[in-house]
Structure 1
Amino acid sequence: MKQYLKHHEWHIIEEGLDPHYNKISESVFSIGNGRMGQRANFEEEYSGETLRGSYVAGVYYPDKTRVGWWKNGYPEYFAKVLNAPNWIGIHITIDNQKLDLAKCKVEDFRRVLDMKTGLLSRSFAATLPDGKKVKVESKRFCSMANGEVGAIRYAITPLNFTAKTTLSLYVDADVVNKDSNYDEKFWEEVNKEATEGRAIVTAQTKKTFFHVTTGMQYVITNDGKKATFDRVNIELREKYAGNVIQLDLQEGKELVVYKYAAVLSSENHAKDALVTACAKVLTEAVAKGFDALFEDHARVWAHKWDGCDITIEGDIAAQQGIRFNIFQLTQTYTGEDERLNIGPKGFTGEKYGGSTYWDTEAYCLPFFLGTAEEKVARNLLVYRYKHLERAIENAGKLGFKDGAALYPMVTMNGEECHNEWEITFEEIHRNGAIAFAIFDYIRYTGDDAYLAEFGLEVLLGISRFWSQRITWSSDRNRFVMLGVTGPNEYENNVNNNWYTNTIATWTLQYTLDALNLVGKSNPSRLAEIIAKTNFKETTETHRWREIIAKMHYPHDEKRGVYLQQDGFLDKELLRVSDLGKDDRPINQKWSWDRILRSCFIKQADVLQGIFLFEERYDIETIRRNFDFYEPMTVHESSLSPCVHVILASKLGYKERAYEFYLRTSRLDLDDYNNDTEDGCHITSMAGTWMSIVKGFGGMTVKDGTLHFNPFTPDQWKSYSFRLEFRGRVIKVKISTDAVETELETGEPLEIFLHGKPVLLKK
């Protein structure tokens, strides 16, 4: 853990520049707006350790899959989230000395992310090698009001000199990804242009031919008045356009650069109209000015926070943690474009590639169900429906047929683009998460029509896959599922993973139920779906029922626990507390062979299943499984701690629940797993929201009704959250001695509090 960031209810604060932590801070202080995002790189040149990152939603590169040997079914490519053209650069040279914080004496360094308004600020004093000292203050945001606009206010004050200075303001598309093979670059120039005060570069991605047009325009003031320049040179080179400005910096007088950026892609504009549209966006941004643009941006954030904020009284670290998670989720996905989804790193880094994992359905959907209007969560499901044909193609490549659908582990456009065999082809539980998300959405919203419109077709494809993937064991006289990897990726190619078997048979039963529901509510639509999918109802559903009735689930009768998979008890059953400090994290200290042979769990498959289907299990069954698996769990998956918060809360393990909450909420802020420098764990952040609402708040939905069984951690005085639910907005405030519920909008609503009905009305 690294605890160098200051605790504050609304701000993330770094005081002092530690080069060893800079890449972590670049991730943590990232900003975005759903359309684009930017790591917290410095505007000026920096020769120290840095990961340059600017990202545009939906833009990717299909890098050729590289494996030691090729096997049938391998994806053709691995989708890379691309480092996009750099628009933030403001390079400064004073008397032929570059302002480079890796080569200067830096004092009073302070970086602040104001989460309430989405503003990134930075200030410092730097002494150049010849003794000249300059103060810099910068502010930056990606507009939530206009997803194509970014703006910077960069102020420079010479403290002990007057000197000739050169400013270089530019757009640079000559960028490289950290994980590119042999430093390969993925952008080609389409055109570039620059005039005094403005520069625009259009670049296209290789292979996929996305066009991104990035423009910048600036206004400079000196001591509060429009600045005059000795000279402005136009600088054009490959994939680069900018202005080089020569002027005088005068001691004690502040020079301010307002740099406006427009980032447009061919996902939203015709390619031949991009440059014109970019120029228009720039002109409008400059005319509006930095302050007015920021006011519009802050107003959107205020509206967002009204709907999704969680307040905690008495624990600043916990408060900061939940708001940081909500902030990053909200600026990553707005729900306004159903073509987009929630990448595991959002706009904070490029690791993992792809824009969609099972994380969206298993973790993110509940957050958007509770905090946004219904269409946002619906769009996440429609995204998968529109990729159904690709999911059928993905299954076909592996030998499945007759409409069986295997949704990809990682995707940009519905095609599988992940190239690790044990994850791509064995971690098939993702199919079940998508099916469960349909159920969860309908259970929460009451939107039963979704089944007939979109959901049933997806369920049929997924159930056909399970039916073909499961095999009959004459030895066991049971159905089995061989060669899989569960959510716990520290066990590969296992037989009868309990979680995968459980969610597979649950999906088959839910699909049977869905067929019945649609048949009653919309028989003509059911007939249409049956014809479209060539569904053999009698024969296919007969097999599904057989599988449901005769599936094998590993279980230890002696301990009364479900087993991760067949043979789990052959492992030496150690506890995480038996590990030495030098062993952690094991994914960075141990060989893969040693990890696979150990009992240690990245995230507990069994507990994941109990969390999803907790109504099936009595409290003592949950307790036995939790007490057995948690001591062996290293929580090196970002998705693990939140599930443990929820189950520990249910079991009355209040202190353990609080410990897990701090881990999930401050995973990136404190760099628990020593990997934040690659980007924040965006999708797991939704689990932090669930930790409070479903964990401490005890929120569940039963028969279309909200139930709460809350408690207050001993470290807190109170906490509160809002929920959107079926056209209502309710507020819940929980303190050590009371629970207050309020209906803020909508018709009267009956809820259950500690098992007793409460009628909410305005």
Structure 2
Amino acid sequence: MMHYNTTEPEELKHWSFSETEFDPLALAKCESIMSLGNGYMGLRSAAEESYIGEKRNLFINGTFNKFDQYEVTELPNAADITRLDIRIDGVRFSLERGEVREYRRLLNLRDAELVRGFVWEYQGKRIRFEFRRYVSLAHKHEIGMRMTVTPLNGRISLSVTSGIDGQVSNSGSQHFHEGEKRIYDKTYIELIQTTTESKIDFVLGAAHRLFIGGTEANLEPKMDIDRRRVAVTYTVDLEQGQTLEFEKAAAVFTSRDLEFAEGPRLDDIREMMLAALKEQHAAGYERRFEDHRRAWEKVWDQYRVSIKSAEPFDQLAVRFAIYHLVIMTPSHDRRMGIGAKGLTGEGYKGHSFWDTEIFILPFYIYTNPPVARSLLEYRYLGLEGARSKALQNGYSGAMYPWEAAWPSDGEVTPEWGQVDIVTGKQTRIWSGVIEQHITSDIAYAVWHYYMATGDQEFMDSFGYEMILDTAKFWASRLEWNEEQQTYHINNVVGPDEYKEHVNNNAFTNYMAHFNIRLAMTYAEELRVQKPALFDRLNSKLGVEAAMDEWSDKIGRIYLPKPNQDGIIPQDDTYLQKKLVDLTPYKSQAKVGSIFDDYNLDQVGEMQVSKQADIMMLFFLLEDQFPLDVKKANYDYYEEKTLHDSSLSLSTHCILANDLGDRELAYRLFRRAAEIDLGPYMHSSDAGVHSASLGGIWKCIVMGFAGVRMLGGALHMNPRLPEAWEEVSFPLYWRGHRIEVHLDRTRISLNTDSEEELTLIIGGNPVKLTGALQLSY
């Protein structure tokens, strides 16, 4: 059972949530949502003791490997460091036996620490346990663990086996060769793994300290080295009321780490790991945790969002979202992207989708632009794979992969998915072949970043090339329709993935048109204003020839227009498909319940959408559509949208708020916030929903606060929910930080800028220098 109104201790009110009852059939919920990480690595929060059905995951960002030629690359599950085999008087400790009292597992978001405590009663013995754990934000290679054990009513014999276990896998796929294992000075444990295909070396270390009654105990352990594992066992006798403190320091390095990018030597990695491990081990849990806690203080100052709401859950929800966005983002290395499940589970194999550019990047654009730039440079490094994909499919330019891993890997989308309930066969996954809007999504993200930051150096070095080359792809992708005398984009999947092999998906067509138009504008600007850069890009990409093709085609791209009822067809056939009663599925307790009754082909013939499609178009290109058209389409498509994708609710929330339905907008916001954090115990089994977490921030800042970038200007048009009295947050614009505070009637702004900034508030230009307060 989850508890979200934790008030003990009081200082963690709205900063933590807890599991108050152990359920061995719902392990994955807390393993995912209570995961720890720092962007370099992510550690799923499985319990220290082992249970059937658990997922013990440790992922190191960017270390992709292919199990064999028949599978796609994925983040390999590194050796497990967290498992402890605990025995009391010779009996293996497990919460599935005996009585468990005072149970609570809590994630402290403020300090990024996992805490679990309870009293275990078995065979007449009562023992108090507490476990603490962190993945350091101050020292990116470091994991810290601490266990305390206190017998409450008699003497016990306690043994603890701890080490590094390489017998784990990715749901059966073993990504590592058997590696070398060593124990130095009976203290420092080392295990080396090497991935089977990408040949990345993992060097993991662990060491332990034991204190009895507050005094360090220099016990000699029993050592054990077995196939793919190395461990030590400590045995102690504890009297009633006597406490054992058991600390474990762990360090993780790989040959893919940025410091080894010039050519790693295994011996160098081992030396670095051992040095880091010894330093951590000598300092102890509390001192190193303090370093970590101070690093998180800076995080919360950087990203602080404060909400005064009648519903305290709202404040917790945005802190939860920001916490996970931070721990999933590889801000340390531009060669790496963000997985659709972050680093919290095996779902989607660690691959990056359009989730990053459309749902997560805005958070960083407006709160930490250097991180946003790093994520876009990851896509620049992926141009090699994008060009290869375009060439393989018979197109020009850069065709970005639907799923991306290591930048040069190109397309890594699996070919086959879940079972078809009608045929019993595996379902073919078409998104890697025909879900192509990702290419214009990335171009849009480059433009969005540039408009908000004014980062000209980024554009000169990376951005222009990305926009021009993606436009070349779209120009080659267009198909001439002789009958209509227009260019079409046929056989695609749009954002609504319940409609495959459609022609002229409105989102895809409009975004392709935007991409080409943007390239035309920038190419002409470069030719006039930056001739040397234009010549360089022209030599590399053939820009002059492309400009002729763009000019010839841009005015004849088919852009679906509203029909007599004001409805823009989502694709050529959507409005002709049959209407069905979606009531049972709109009120579903789990996503995808429509597939209990129909297969994907059958759903493809209904007017039902998985997620926002036309609505996403209205959000990204909002100034291209009048309000009455948005309203008509929202009313039409919202009732047909099941929100079976976690990406969907935040977009519908923002549009509902724009259209004046604050009650619905707030309801959709709460549903988005509850995808991971809510009461459903199996919604996050495969990992958290990265895009939805970015969407929570977007609902607050871009939705309720009305922050938008339109035409290169920063707009604010607040419409707070009835439940909220105040909201405040930081905002970066053109290199300057603006502190924003809103209540129901007033807006207060403070900036560090010595220059005069122009904002559009409620449709009116406002000059900002220093501080400003006005009514809206």
Question: Which SS does the other structure have where 1:668 is aligned?
Answer: helix
Judged with a 3 Å threshold, the aligned counterparts in structure 2 of structure 1 residues 144 and 254 are, in CA distance, closer, same or farther, namely same
| Partner deviation per Cα, 1:522-559 (whole Å, 9 max, x = no partner) | 11111011112234x24x32332333211223345222
- Aligned equivalents of 2:300 and 2:750: distance in 1? 18
Shift of 1:594: 3.0
Shift of 1:334: 4.8
Shift of 1:343: 0.7
- Aligned equivalents of 2:656 and 2:622: distance in 1? 13
Judged with a 3 Å threshold, the aligned counterparts in structure 2 of structure 1 residues 320 and 65 are, in CA distance, closer, same or farther, namely farther
Q: Is the 8 A contact 2:586 2:642 kept in 1?
A: no
Q: Aligned partner of 2:57: which letter?
A: G
| Partner deviation per Cα, 1:83-107 (whole Å, 9 max, x = no partner) | 1111112221112100112233222
- Aligned equivalents of 1:426 and 1:637: distance in 2? 18
In the other structure, the counterpart of 1:22 is 27
Judged with a 3 Å threshold, the aligned counterparts in structure 2 of structure 1 residues 583 and 216 are, in CA distance, closer, same or farther, namely closer
Q: Is the 8 A contact 1:48 1:102 kept in 2?
A: no
Q: Is the 8 A contact 1:394 1:406 kept in 2?
A: yes
- Aligned equivalents of 2:743 and 2:481: distance in 1? 54
Shift of 1:458: 1.6
Shift of 1:502: 0.7
- Aligned equivalents of 1:138 and 1:225: distance in 2? 19
Shift of 1:59: 1.3
- Aligned equivalents of 1:746 and 1:123: distance in 2? 51
Q: Aligned partner of 1:660: which letter?
A: L
1:383 aligned onto 2:387: no
2:198 to 179, 201, 208: 208
- Aligned equivalents of 2:470 and 2:155: distance in 1? 70
- Aligned equivalents of 1:471 and 1:604: distance in 2? 26
Q: Is the 8 A contact 1:460 1:511 kept in 2?
A: yes
Q: Is the 8 A contact 2:359 2:694 kept in 1?
A: yes
Q: Aligned partner of 1:95: which letter?
A: D
1:32 aligned onto 2:75: no
- Aligned equivalents of 2:590 and 2:623: distance in 1? 35
- Aligned equivalents of 1:715 and 1:26: distance in 2? 31
In the other structure, the counterpart of 1:593 is 601
Q: Is the 8 A contact 1:5 1:15 kept in 2?
A: no
In the other structure, the counterpart of 1:73 is none
In the other structure, the counterpart of 2:423 is none
Question: Which SS does the other structure have where 1:504 is aligned?
Answer: helix
1:103 to 97, 104, 108: 97
Q: Is the 8 A contact 2:164 2:229 kept in 1?
A: yes
Question: Which SS does the other structure have where 1:585 is aligned?
Answer: coil
In the other structure, the counterpart of 2:356 is 360
Judged with a 3 Å threshold, the aligned counterparts in structure 2 of structure 1 residues 21 and 616 are, in CA distance, closer, same or farther, namely same
Q: Aligned partner of 1:353: which letter?
A: K
Shift of 1:674: 4.5
| Partner deviation per Cα, 1:417-465 (whole Å, 9 max, x = no partner) | 1123411011000001011011101110112343332122222221121
Q: Is the 8 A contact 1:342 1:356 kept in 2?
A: yes
Question: Which SS does the other structure have where 2:749 is aligned?
Answer: strand
Question: Which SS does the other structure have where 1:476 is aligned?
Answer: coil
Shift of 1:637: 0.7
Equivalent residues in 2 for 1:5-16, closer than 5 Å: 5-6=4-5, 8-16=13-21
Shift of 1:703: 4.6
In the other structure, the counterpart of 2:317 is 321
Q: Is the 8 A contact 2:66 2:175 kept in 1?
A: no
TM-score (norm 1): 0.94
2:692 to 654, 675, 684: 684
1:154 aligned onto 2:147: yes
Shift of 1:707: 1.6
1:264 to 253, 261, 273: 253
Shift of 1:3: 6.0
In the other structure, the counterpart of 2:671 is 663
| Partner deviation per Cα, 1:90-149 (whole Å, 9 max, x = no partner) | 221112100112233222110111111111111011223x23222111111100001001
1:330 aligned onto 2:319: no
1:348 to 341, 344, 351: 344
Deviates more, 1:673-682 or 1:621-630: 673-682
Q: Is the 8 A contact 1:342 1:683 kept in 2?
A: no
Q: Is the 8 A contact 1:110 1:123 kept in 2?
A: yes
Q: Is the 8 A contact 2:40 2:332 kept in 1?
A: no
Deviates more, 1:138-147 or 1:670-679: 670-679
Q: Is the 8 A contact 1:553 1:562 kept in 2?
A: no
1:516 aligned onto 2:510: no
Shift of 1:413: 2.9
Question: Which SS does the other structure have where 2:230 is aligned?
Answer: strand
Q: Is the 8 A contact 1:571 1:599 kept in 2?
A: yes
- Aligned equivalents of 1:63 and 1:493: distance in 2? 31
Q: Is the 8 A contact 1:23 1:677 kept in 2?
A: yes
In the other structure, the counterpart of 1:612 is 620
Q: Is the 8 A contact 2:707 2:717 kept in 1?
A: yes
How large is the Cα RMSD of the aligned pairs?
Answer: 2.0
Judged with a 3 Å threshold, the aligned counterparts in structure 2 of structure 1 residues 673 and 753 are, in CA distance, closer, same or farther, namely farther
Shift of 1:376: 1.5
Q: Aligned partner of 1:523: which letter?
A: P
- Aligned equivalents of 1:719 and 1:151: distance in 2? 35
In the other structure, the counterpart of 1:410 is 404
In the other structure, the counterpart of 2:226 is 237
Q: Is the 8 A contact 2:24 2:51 kept in 1?
A: no
In the other structure, the counterpart of 1:298 is 293
Deviates more, 1:593-602 or 1:199-208: 593-602
Q: Is the 8 A contact 1:198 1:242 kept in 2?
A: no
Shift of 1:574: 4.0
Question: Which SS does the other structure have where 1:274 is aligned?
Answer: helix
| Partner deviation per Cα, 1:666-719 (whole Å, 9 max, x = no partner) | 210116695311110123311111111110011112454322100221011111
In the other structure, the counterpart of 1:74 is none
In the other structure, the counterpart of 1:133 is 126
Q: Is the 8 A contact 1:370 1:725 kept in 2?
A: yes
- Aligned equivalents of 2:280 and 2:603: distance in 1? 53
- Aligned equivalents of 1:193 and 1:649: distance in 2? 60
Q: Aligned partner of 2:213: which letter?
A: D
- Aligned equivalents of 2:752 and 2:104: distance in 1? 40
Would you identify which runs of 4 or more consecutive aligned residues in structure 1 move more than 6 Å? none
Judged with a 3 Å threshold, the aligned counterparts in structure 2 of structure 1 residues 38 and 724 are, in CA distance, closer, same or farther, namely same
Q: Is the 8 A contact 2:726 2:742 kept in 1?
A: yes
Shift of 1:185: 1.6
| Partner deviation per Cα, 1:479-532 (whole Å, 9 max, x = no partner) | 111110011111111111110011111111000011012223311111011112
1:443 aligned onto 2:451: yes
Q: Is the 8 A contact 1:575 1:631 kept in 2?
A: no
In the other structure, the counterpart of 2:442 is 434
Contiguous gaps of at least 5 residues in structure 1: 67-76
Q: Is the 8 A contact 1:201 1:215 kept in 2?
A: yes
